[in-house]
Amino acid sequence: MLVWAVLAITICVPIAAAAASPLLAWRQPVYIIAGFAGIAAMALLLLQPLLAAGLLPGLTLQRARRIHRWIGGALVALVVLHVGGLWITSPPDVVDALLFTSPTPFSAWGVIAMWALFGAAVLAGLRHRLRPRLWRRVHTALALVIVAGSIVHALLIDGTMETVSKVALCALVLVATLKAVAGARAWTIKRR
- Residues 101, 164, 171, 183: which binds another protein (CB under 8 A)? 101
Q: Footprint of another protein on residues 59-98 (CB under 8 A)?
A: 86, 89-90, 92-93, 96
Q: Helix, strand, coil proportions of the chain in percent (round to 5)?
A: 85, 0, 15
By beta-carbon proximity to another protein, the closer residue of 18 and 176 is 18
Torsion angle, alpha carbons of 18, 23, 26, 30, to 10:
-40
The continuous run of DSSP H or E covering 5 comes out as: helix 2-19
| Residue 162 lies near another protein (rule: CB under 8 A) | no
Report d(CA 28, CA 21) in Å as an integer: 14
- Residues 54, 84, 119, 159: which binds another protein (CB under 8 A)? 159
| Contact between residue 41 and residue 78 where contact means Cβ atoms under 8 Å apart | yes
The distance of closest approach from Cβ of residue 109 to another protein in the complex, given in angstroms and rounded to an integer, is 11
The distance of closest approach from Cβ of residue 158 to another protein in the complex, given in angstroms and rounded to an integer, is 5
Give the binding-site size for another protein (rule: CB under 8 A): 22
| Residue 54 lies near another protein (rule: CB under 8 A) | no
Chain centre distance of CA 149: 9
Q: Which stretch binds another protein (CB under 8 A): 12-20, 24-32, 44-52, 60-68?
A: 24-32
DSSP 8-state symbol, 47:
H
- Which ranges of 90-184 would DSSP assign to H, the alpha helix? 91-98, 105-125, 132-156, 163-183
| Residue 163 lies near another protein (rule: CB under 8 A) | no
Could you list the residues that contact another protein (CB under 8 A)?
23, 25-28, 31, 86, 89-90, 92-93, 96, 101-104, 106-107, 156-159
